[in-house]
Amino acid sequence: MKKSSEELKELVQQKYSQIAGQTREQNQSSCCGAGECASVDYSIFSEDYSHLEGYLQDADLALGCGIPVKYAGISKGDTVVDLGSGAGNDAFVAAAITGPAGRVIGIDMTEAMLARANENRDKLGLSHVSFRLGDIEDLPIRNSAAQVVLSNCVLNLVPDKSKAFSEIYRILRPGGHFCISDVVIRGSVPEKIREAGEMYAGCVSGALPKIEYLEIIHGIGFEAVTIHTEKQIEIPDEILANFLNQEEIGEFRNSGTGIFSVTVSAYRPKCDPEAGCC
């Protein structure tokens, strides 16, 4: 049975509250990331941040599917908003680039993640970083507040992607841009996976087809849409076996369906009547 938007949000909050209490090593060594071993490996998409300035191991829970900050074109003094900021991994790397003259605001809907992020911020002594409780579909950020918006493997967890990208557009200044790493699909994911709450929280069943994902971005009014990275993700049979039988796994493997992590950037137009600049 298809879950409502509120049920999906509650599911995500529950799962990521569990993950917030774990270390990166626990996420990587367990077969599930959170919950029982019939669950999803939440670290399956993760990338290595350890070489980047501002990296804090305690903030890295191996939950991303790219390194958006690497392609975000952040400058000193910028205001950066990180959506789904988790324990602060991307926010702290961004803060090392903006410097104290800039500002980094992390938004997360999970109080346990915010508590961990604030603890990590205090360890680093970063006065220009703050974290707020908020919903990506209704961001607690004023209009045209940011030069850059980041997000890492989170937009696929938002039930209404169009509303999320509309909010990103709203909080960006004219000429500002986002850089987002996310999960998209090619082909059709089996219904048993699409309806599995664990696979939604695991960033798979909530993912849109790549074409539809890009159409939303263009439709909101963003321009200069660029795909910086695209990598196919292989989900191990032992994870699929929690949702599909062996025959169904074979059909899935042979269907041509692909699951990809992508890093995409796009700009809000400099000349934007909504902002009164034309």
* First-residue to last-residue Cα distance in the chain: 48
CATH fold, domain 5-264, is Rossmann fold (3.40.50)
According to DSSP, residue 138 is labeled B
Judge whether 23 and 57 are in contact, CB under 8 Å.
Answer: no
pLDDT of residue 44: 72
Helix axes 5-20, 111-124, angle to 10 degrees: 40
Three-class SS string for 60-86?
CCCCCCCCHHHHCCCCCCCEEEEECCC
Q: For the chain, which residues make up each domain, given as ranges? A: 5-264
pLDDT given at position 243 = 86
| Alpha-carbon torsion angle 67, 70, 72, 78, nearest 10 | 110
Phi-psi domain of 88 (left: phi exceeds 0; alpha: psi -120 through 50; beta: other):
left
| Confidence category of residue 37, pLDDT binned at 50, 70, 90 | very low
Q: Is the dihedral of CA 257, 204, 149, 276 positive or negative?
A: positive
What is the greatest pairwise CA distance in the chain? 59
| Nearest Cα to Cα of residue 104 among 93, 115, 120, 112 | 93
- For the segment 188-217, the average pLDDT, to the nearest whole number, is 83
Two structure tokens written together for 91: 């926010």
Least confident of 88-97, 175-184, 239-248: 239-248
Contacts of 97 (CB under 8 A, 6+ apart): 53, 54, 69, 74, 75, 76, 78
Q: Is the pLDDT of residue 190 over 60?
A: yes
The mean-pLDDT minimum among 2-16, 22-36, 67-81, 104-118 falls in 22-36
Q: Name the more confident of 14 and 221.
A: 221
The single-letter DSSP state of residue 109 is S
Full-model pTM:
0.89
Whether the Cβ atoms of residue 188 and residue 258 lie closer than 8 Å to each other: no
